[in-house]
A and B are shown apart, each in its own frame.
Chain A
Amino acid sequence: KAGVTQTPRYLIKTRGQQVTLSCSPISGHRSVSWYQQTPGQGLQFLFEYFSETQRNKGNFPGRFSGRQFSNSRSEMNVSTLELGDSALYLCASSLRLSIGSGDTQYFGPGTRLTVL
């Protein structure tokens, strides 16, 4: 079974631009979560999508948004980029067999975003 894939792997943008990152979950996984990793703040939860609906959201400004498609693939978008948005953006997928059970999240390799 193929793992979680993320595209692109590296991205360089300038301040004020917007960016879209893509994540394809493991086949059969319906939950996709996004995380931001920076040296200063560590790993932080952005949001989670399940069956095309945003189920949870972290403490990030509205410039960060996402969506999930019917095939469970997900995209996240960051508008009006700031220097502080430079980070490794990680996507994770899980089965979500039942609510409340909690299950393993499998991470992709990440997209390294650099904002100049």
Chain B
Amino acid sequence: SQQGEEDPQALSIQEGENATMNCSYKTSINNLQWYRQNSGRGLVHLILIRSNEREKHSGRLRVTLDTSKKSSSLLITASRAADTASYFCATDALITGGGNKLTFGTGTQLKVEL
């Protein structure tokens, strides 16, 4: 089962505009990661934010995390046509004994038009 929802499900913007995607999750987490996927291909890691962090930047990406609301947002500034892809948030929950187990959101399909 999926951890939570992403909002919006689809987003269409013009090149140069900013794109914001939101992610909600259900359980306590160790960290939250954002991934990009182009046309059903492999996932590309974008950014990881730990549960004790509130905001993180990487190039044109800005991620925020609010653990009290169990939500995160991904902002892509000055979008480009090449940013057209599906974006997924994934939570790495606290597992007794450790281990990696990412639980993915439903994804946001971003289309950036020229």
Using a CB–CB distance below 8 Å, which chain A residues touch chain B?
A: 4, 31, 33, 35, 37, 41-45, 48, 50, 55-56, 58-59, 88, 90, 92, 94, 96, 99-110, 112
Contact = CB atoms under 8 A, between A and B. Distances in A.
Interface string B58-92: 00000000000000000000000000000010101
A108 B42 contact: yes
* Majority SS at the chain A contact face: strand
A100 B42 contact: no
Contacts of A101: 30
Given A56-B95, A102-B30, A104-B33, A90 B100 contact: no
Interface of B: 1-2, 30-31, 33, 35, 40-45, 48, 50, 88, 90, 92, 94-95, 97-104, 106-107
A101 B95 CA distance: 11
A90 B43 contact: yes
Given A55-B99, A104-B33, A42 B104 contact: yes
A56 B101 contact: yes
Contacts of B99: 48, 50, 55-56, 99
